[in-house]
Amino acid sequence: MHGCPDAAMAGFYFVGTIIVIKQQLLNRIADKSAVIGIVGLGYVGLPLMLRFAEVGYKVLGFDIDQSKVDALMAGKSYIEHISADSIATALERGFEATTDFSRAPEADTLILCVPTPLNKYREPDLSFVLDTMDSLVPYLREGHLVSLESTTYPGTTDEELLPRMESRGFKVGENAFLVFSPEREDPGNPNFTTRTIPKVCGGYSPACQEIGVALYSAVIDKVVPVSSTRAAEMTKLLENIHRAVNIGLVNEMKIVADKMGIDIHEVIRAAATKPFGFVPYYPGPGLGGHCIPIDPFYLTWKAREYGVNTRFIELAGEVNSAMPDYVVAKVAAALNLRKKAINGSRVLVLGIAYKKNVDDMRESPSVFLMEKLRDLGAEVSYSDPHVPVFPKMREHHFALSSVALDAATIASYDCVLLATDHDKFDYTLLKQHAQLIVDSRGKYLEPADHIVKA
């Protein structure tokens, strides 16, 4: 009989300890004494760091790239739309970058912002997430919040991160915490900032959810809680698959319209005047960026585990993946009409970033266009005011620098291929002096004998 009160007291003490651990972290977030750890200082992690520093948190940034860490600690930026001044200000506010993962215990939160690409078989490559987590696991401590922001398939957080955290003896939801909160950065978009873009957050447990919402609410105007990490993971996939499918639709319609002698861009502009029931999406030379070309494959891969074939999504992927070949065929046909072959022709690709007005090269369709043209024997050059030198990429290699555009230079090329429609290009100058323009972005509204829509 004497053992029962002691057991009850032990249980009460344990529950009380759990409550204390959670409340201590909530208090530190509330009074801004929490140290925010951000792992991966790229297009997602760096803006998030700036926002946390802006509101008064000390931020400790982790990255495996020593050159990035050195640049940041010197007050320099390696992303065009992030100024060196903003980095310098963050340093003054206590920001520090390091490659030393053993410093993870200094942080109260560890926010993972690392790539989730596809492998050569177009299957999810979680190596960056898992390697990062494995590097952090030895240094996890009681009270840590781990938040994954990298886009991935539903179940990743629970199936991969949770057991790694609990391998250290923690009970997630009691003395350590885990959430998934997908990034929603849109580089180069002046209308939205990290602060103003609503943030979805799903926790492994109610306690995890409470802490995750508190963390992001401190720096973001609106946080949208969802019921689980899986719901949050699926939300991100739906957002990007929605875009991929609709872009696949207009890309397919572009081909049909072209056969019929109709300008699809004119049709889209006209349809967009409808004030309800229609959202304009625009065709292009292929999909680019870190999300839209990749995310659908994360869902289709995971869906097979449940015996589901995502035919609709995969069809859109096939259409979008075929766009670079379609554009190259248009270049070949246009040159052929002028009694020229691609082999030996000088082709200038305009814009090699994946979208206008940024320096982001991830999954850029321009690079696939350049490779296909080179393989066919073209002498390929590029011009991009945002990418002065072709960067080192895992799978693509060009020893090229951006060509400065003037009348004589433009006229010297057999074909100018408009791949990314940066605002900095002088489209009037290009139209006046180019022998041939293949426009894959619908930039030129008025028809001309030397302009071919692609």
Q: What is the mean pLDDT of residues 346-372?
A: 95
Contact 38, 45 (CB under 8 A): yes
Widest CA span in the chain: 101
For residue 327, which of 447, 443, 418, 253 has the smallest C-alpha distance? 418
Going from the C-alpha of 23 to that of each of 18, 155, 211, the distances in angstroms are 9, 28, 9
Integer Cα distance of 263 and 451 in angstroms: 13
- Tell me: pLDDT of 403 over 80: yes
Return the minimum-mean-pLDDT range out of 70-84, 179-193, 365-379, 431-445: 179-193
Residues 289 and 433 in one domain: yes
Is 190's pLDDT higher than 50? yes
- The pTM for the full model equals 0.90
pLDDT tens-digit map of 205-223: 999 999 999 999 999 999 9
Per the CB < 8 A criterion, the answer to whether 124 and 90 are in contact is no
Residue 135 shares a structural domain with residue 198: yes
Provide the annotated active-site residues.
291
**Which tokens go with 197?**
């873009």
Pairwise CA distance, residues 345 & 342, whole Å: 5
| Burial class, 301, CB count within 10 angstroms (exposed 0-12 / middle 13-18 / buried 19+) | middle
Q: Give the pLDDT confidence score for residue 6 in this predicted structure.
A: 59
- The pLDDT score that the predictor gives to residue 188 is 76
Residue 121: predicted pLDDT: 80
User: In whole angstroms, what is the distance from residue 280 CA to residue 262 CA?
Assistant: 17
Residue 222 domain-assigned (yes or no): yes
pLDDT of residue 4: 53
Angle at 187 between CA 185 and CA 191, to 5 degrees: 85
Instruction: Indicate whether 392 belongs to any domain.
Output: yes
Query: In sequence order, what are the beta bridge partners of 418?
Result: 350, 439
Q: Are residues 221 and 301 located together in one domain of the fold?
A: no
For 367, phi then psi, to 5°, come to -70, -40
Buried b (16+ CB within 10 A) or exposed e, 433-444: bbbbbbbbbbbb
Give the pLDDT mean for 304-311: 94
Task: With respect to residue 26, please indicate whether it lies within any of the assigned structural domains.
Answer: yes
Q: Minimal CA–CA distance to 416: which of 433, 428, 401?
A: 433
215 and 353 housed in the same domain: no
d(CA 138, CA 169): 11
- For 165-188, write each residue's pLDDT tens digit: 999 999 999 999 999 999 998 887
**Residue 196 shares a structural domain with residue 305:** no
Q: What is the dihedral of CA 357, 361, 363, 364, to 10 degrees?
A: 50
Q: Which of 167, 199, 227 is the last residue of a domain?
A: 227
| Token digits of residue 235 | 């939300």
For residue 185, what pLDDT is reported?
86
Per residue in 228-276, pLDDT tens? 999 999 999 999 999 999 999 999 999 999 999 999 999 999 999 999 9
Residue 12 is predicted with a pLDDT of: 45
* Under 8 Å between Cβ of 259 and 269: no
Kindly report which listed range (6-15, 115-124, 295-304) carries the lowest average pLDDT score.
6-15
Query: Residue 41, exposed/middle/buried by CB under 10 A (0-12, 13-18, 19+)?
Result: buried
User: What pLDDT score was predicted for residue 290?
Assistant: 67
Check whether residue 292 and residue 422 sit in a common domain. Answer: yes
pLDDT (0 to 100) of residue 423: 96
Question: Of 23-32, 281-290, 416-425, where does mean pLDDT reach its minimum?
Answer: 281-290
Residue whose structure tokens are 């690392």: 114
- Residues 297, 223 share a domain: no
Pairing state between β 223-226 and 35-39: unpaired
- The reply to whether 348 and 201 lie within a common domain is no
CATH number at residue 410: 3.40.50.720
**What is the C-alpha to C-alpha distance for residues 128 and 140, in angstroms, rounded to an integer?**
18
Residue 437: which of 366, 350, 354, 368 has the closest Cα? Answer: 350
For the beta carbon of residue 366, count every other beta carbon within 10 angstroms: 27
Same domain, 447 and 319: yes
Q: What is the identity of the amino acid at 54?
A: E
The pLDDT score that the predictor gives to residue 189 is 83
9: pLDDT confidence band, cut at 50, 70 and 90?
A: very low
What's the gap between Cα 313 and its chain centre?
A: 19
**Per-chain mean pLDDT for the chain:** 94
| Tokens at 280, concatenated | 């304009």
**Strand, helix or coil at 115?**
coil
Query: Is the confidence at residue 11, as pLDDT, over 50?
Result: no
Mean pLDDT along residues 314-337? 96
Q: Residue 117 corresponds to which tokens in the numbers above? A: 């690409």
Q: Structural domain of residue 167, as residue ranges?
A: 5-227
* Alpha-carbon torsion (62, 66, 72, 73), positive or negative: positive
Whether 2 shows a pLDDT value over 70: the answer reads: no
Burial of residue 188 (number of CB atoms within 10 Å: 0-12, 13-18, 19+): middle
> Where is pLDDT greater, at 9 or 249?
249
Same structural domain, 321 and 193: no
Neighbour-count burial for 338-362, b at 16+ CB within 10 Å, e otherwise: eebebeebebbbbbbbbbbbbbbbb
Q: Give the total number of structural domains in the chain.
A: 2
Give the model's pLDDT for residue 246: 96
On whether both 64 and 196 belong to a single domain, the answer is: yes
pLDDT, position 13: 44
> Tens digits of per-residue pLDDT, 376-395?
999 999 999 999 999 988 77
